[in-house]
Amino acid sequence: MTQPVYATREDVMRALDSKPTARNTAQIDRALQSASRDIEALCHRRFYPELATRYFDWPDSQQGTSWRLWLDDSQLISVTSISSGGTTISTADVLLEPNRSGPPYTRLELNLGSSAAFGGGSTHQRDITITGLWGYSNQETTAGTLASAVGSTSTTTVSVDGPAAAALGVGSVLRVDDERMIVTGRSMADTTQNLGSDIDQQVKTVTIPVASTAGFAVDEVILIDGERMLIVDIAGTNLIVKRAWDGSANAAHTTGADVYASRTLTVARGALGTTAATHSGGATVQRWDPPAPVRDLTIAEAVAQLTNEVAGYSRTRKSGDGGTSERAMDATALSSFRDRVYASHGRKGRVRAV
């Protein structure tokens, strides 16, 4: 999964109450890709941030105002550099609009109080060059820190410390320093915490004592011996869990057993136009957050596809006189959901004439 998606594998598994297996995780990843691309087609935009250089004709075929450039489908979050006709234009002389609601910015204007100007090249083709962060938004949440240094640009595994790491999943877009990464897999890492006392194998035994709960989070999955457990609450130095999670078997565990958590991430390095780099231990890990309605629709679309695959795309209900008309069971709910997301985040046609 190296192309960004707008929800994680874990989001869909939680919605389906599905346990992880090689077969269903691959199926979920494929459904997430389909759902994300469908939402981009619905909304006529890509939501993820991508660092890139793009080129624009000037003057363009639409004969716009001499100091204004419409970006059309290339919506901008921030600008790094800009030139026209081979001449660099200071970013201080560039106004990103609409300034009251952006980003995303749909047009770029030159400050009329400056000497900056478009044009001057030998041809109008690709006269303007803009390097910047393109996309819908760059809303980020701190998701912990690197547990150890990343000393090579070819390393594809990173370990994350901190309870916020529980919110990471396969498909998450991360940023460490100036590099973006896409999470393609997760595995267990030792939390350095150990079981504080013996616990039996009974499902009703849900209190897991540890020396410190500071590094854990509610809704995080831990592993003790071969049993996975879901943390549902934290009280003092005890983790309150749901036993035998993700299809594992409940078992007895002895004092001192290692407690693992899913914090080792397999990542695609140098993603979305960035360059793979080395990073020091303790560097902050930022998670990119897609717009909430887009994330929710991605989950809904993926769940609908997966359940329809299981049913052979025959989940229908009868309606009309005598039940002669068939309709897909999820058609009404998903159609309404799509309409709401398009209304709130879709890119509508723009009319330039007054």
* pLDDT tens, position by position, 165-210: 888 999 999 999 999 999 999 999 899 999 999 999 999 999 999 9
Question: Is residue 56's pLDDT more than 50?
Answer: yes
Token output for 64: 């716009």
Best CA proximity match to 319, nearest among 329, 311, 310: 329
Q: If you search the block for the tokens 């389909």, which residue do you land on? A: 34
Other CB atoms within 10 Å distance of the CB of residue 151: 10
What would the two tokens of residue 150 be? Answer: 């990343």
Residues of the chain with pLDDT > 70: what percent?
A: 91
- In this predicted structure, what is the pLDDT of residue 214? 87
Q: How confident is the model at residue 121 (pLDDT cuts 50, 70, 90)?
A: confident
ω into 104 cis (within 30 of 0): yes
CA distance 232 to 218: 5
- pLDDT tens digits for 12-42? 998 988 777 767 899 999 999 999 999 999 9
The predicted pLDDT at position 284 comes to 96
6 within 8 A of 39, measured Cβ to Cβ: yes
Could you give the CA distance from residue 102 to residue 115 in angstroms, rounded to a whole number? 25
pLDDT tens, residue by residue, 239-271? 999 999 988 999 999 999 999 998 899 999 999
Domains of the chain, residue spans:
1-46+292-354, 50-134, 140-288
Residues whose CB falls within 8 Å of the CB of residue 336, separated by 6 or more in sequence, listed in order: none
Q: What is the token pair recorded at 95? A: 């106004």
Task: Assign residue 314 a region (left: φ > 0; alpha: ψ between -120 and 50; beta: otherwise).
Answer: alpha
Q: What is the rounded distance in angstroms from the CA atom of residue 155 to the CA atom of residue 26?
A: 23
Residues making up the chain, counted from first to last: 354
pLDDT digits (tens, 9 = 90+) for 44-53: 999 999 999 9
- The two three-digit tokens of residue 173, written as one number: 């877009």
* Structure tokens given for 154: 């070819």
Tens digits of residue pLDDT in 213-244: 988 999 899 999 999 999 999 999 999 999 99
CB of 263 closer than 8 Å to CB of 161: yes
72-117 pLDDT, tens digit each: 889 999 999 999 999 999 999 999 999 999 899 999 999 999 999 9
* Predicted confidence (pLDDT) per residue in 303-336, tens digit: 999 988 877 766 665 555 555 555 555 566 799 9
Q: Angle at which helices 9-16 and 292-310 pack, to 10 degrees?
A: 60
Retrieve residue 178's tokens: 């100036």
Enclosing H/E stretch for 176: strand 173-176
Q: What is the mean pLDDT of the chain?
A: 90
pLDDT of residue 227: 95
